[in-house]
Amino acid sequence: MQALEGITVLDFCRNAPGMFCTTVLADLGADVLMIERPMDEARSAYEKIAAGIDGPEAERRHASFNALQRNKRSIALNLKEPEAQNIFHSLAETADVVVEGFRPGVMDRLGAGYEKVRSINPRAVYCSVSGYGQDGPYSQMAGHDINYISFAGALGLIGPENGRPAIPLNLIADYAGGGLCGAVGILAALMAREKTGQGQCVDIAMSEGVLYMLSGLISDVLGRGVSAERGGNRLNGGAPYYNVYRTKDDKYFSIAAIEPWFWENLCRALDLEDLLPHQEAAGAKKAEVEQALADAFLTRTRDEWFETLKDSNISVGKVYSLEEALDDPHARERGMVLEIEAPEISEGKVRQVATSIHLSENPGQVRHLGSVTGQHTSEVLNQLGFDSDAVADLLHRQVVQ
């Protein structure tokens, strides 16, 4: 048995934040049904070009390799049609969770907003993942990860001290502030339901998720009036002992010798004992320390330095490409790369990243690979009591796909 077995989720998400949220739930055993839009010709052409899909076989292959679609079924409903809304309402009657990622108001216009779902099923947990939340002056603004981390103050802290902010991947707001915070909020609401018998709305604003993750730095601002600066904090490039250095093979190596004993071990391992008193050097001396470390790391390759330092009680790491990260022996031994049977595509197997949530008794797993749009429409309608003629009629009239 999986931890969330028996929990049903209706997934209205179209982008990474909400899709990652429901992937976390699905990997832990929830039955996730994607409520997708029917693919009209224009949208189908756009999305297939964007994803590099050319033909049904490529679409099937894309879905099979897409970890954000695994463990999920798909039904396509044209929610502009009252009949399609009624189908959703039937699904909502027994759903435990509804997750959506639109701007506030969109789901209400589709007959699928929180108040409507609550009137149908008061036990349902309804999670909205948006950029700025369900209210407030920015709630209707368009946005992406870079905008959310801008407003939260995170982007201004990333990058060199005298340069412009460095744009990270969309992991901070989209995946962490949105997806992970959404999953945590849903699980908390499900736990609360065990005590109250009632569902509730989970309002996740990605920009606020980033603020929340900055809680340590914000505590310094609010409590001591001390603000971090780009490239000036010891954890964002302001310290030689917590930094990245180029190696002989033109790769990079990370060190994090924050604790004095780590710093001592590092200096001795690099034959730079003269730097021992200067861990917290400033000004010209800091530049001198950084240069000495830079010169030292240029004398060996990245992998040679790792073999030299990994057992010396020093916080170190090889800066990997994604391909290298997947092939690392530690990741392999921990089971972070899965090989899954995929008889429906020519390769016969796919590789995907595993869940990072390791449960000893109810581990997450991939039960099935991703679904193409509308793959389970007939199956779901049959479960709702529609006979084959009624399903064929709805498909013909494009109420469903």
List, by residue number, the catalytic residues: 144, 174
Contact 394, 83 (CB under 8 A): yes
Contact assessment for residue 125 and residue 199, using Cβ atoms and an 8 Å cutoff: yes
Instruction: Enter the tokens of residue 104.
Output: 């506030």
Half-sphere exposure of 46 (CA within 13 A, CB side): 5
CA–CA dist 176, 300 (Å, integer) = 36
- Nearest 10 degrees: Cα torsion 366, 368, 371, 375: -150
Q: Strand, coil or helix: what is 38?
A: coil
Q: Beta strand pairing status for 8-11 and 97-100?
A: parallel
Q: Which one-letter DSSP state was computed for residue 61?
A: H
Q: Within 13 A of 13's CA, how many CA atoms are on the CB side?
A: 30
Q: What's the order of all strands across the beta sheet hosting 31-36? A: 72-76, 31-36, 8-11, 97-100, 125-130, 201-205
**β-pairing verdict for 125-130 and 97-100:** parallel
Contact predicate 261/313, CB 8 Å: yes
Short-list 358, 347, 266, 352, CA closest to 67 = 352
